[in-house]
Amino acid sequence: GGGDKDCSRRWGKLLAVYPADVDAGVNAGADVRGSFSKSTTHVMHSATVASGESGGPLISAAGEVLGVHSFGDAFYGGARDVAVAATTAIVDQIVCLRRRDPVPPSEYATSVINRRVMASSDPALAAMCPELSAEQRRSWIL
C-alpha cells in the first residue's frame, strides 16, 4: 500500500522526559516506544503531529498509547511536541477525578484551566527546553 515509506518521522524520536531523573534508562534519540516510569509526567518527541491533534494519542510503532499530545513548536517551524505521559499514575488521577463529587462549572472557566495547565506544564517545558524564555514557553503551552 501507499503511505509514508520512512516511518521514522511518523513515529519520531524521544527528545526528553520530565522529570529527567526518573527515566534515566530512556535515551534521548531513541525511537518513541515502550512505556515510561510512573513518575514521568511529560514526554518531548519528534513524532509528526498535525495541527488539531492536541488531545490525541502519542502511539508507538507497536500500537501502544504512550501519551496524549498537548503542545509543541510546530506553529513556529519546529519539530518538537510534548505529550502528557500515559502512565499508571496519570490514569489513577483521572479515575480519582471521576469519582469526586461534581465539579462546579466555575472550575471549567478558561482562566482556571489555563492556570492549571501552566502550573503543570511550565516546569516540565522549562526543564526540557532551558533555552526558552517564560514568554516563549507560555506561547507553546497556551
Average pLDDT over residues 69-80: 81
- CB-side neighbour CA atoms (13 Å) of 19: 4
pLDDT classification of 10: cutoffs 50, 70, 90? low
Rg of the chain taking only CA atoms, in angstroms: 16
Q: Residue 61 corresponds to which amino acid?
A: A
Q: Hey, is 60 helix, strand or coil?
A: coil
Which residue type sits at 29? Answer: G
Whether the per-residue pLDDT at 43 is higher than 80: the answer is: yes
Q: Which residues contact 135 (CB under 8 A, 6 or more apart)?
A: none
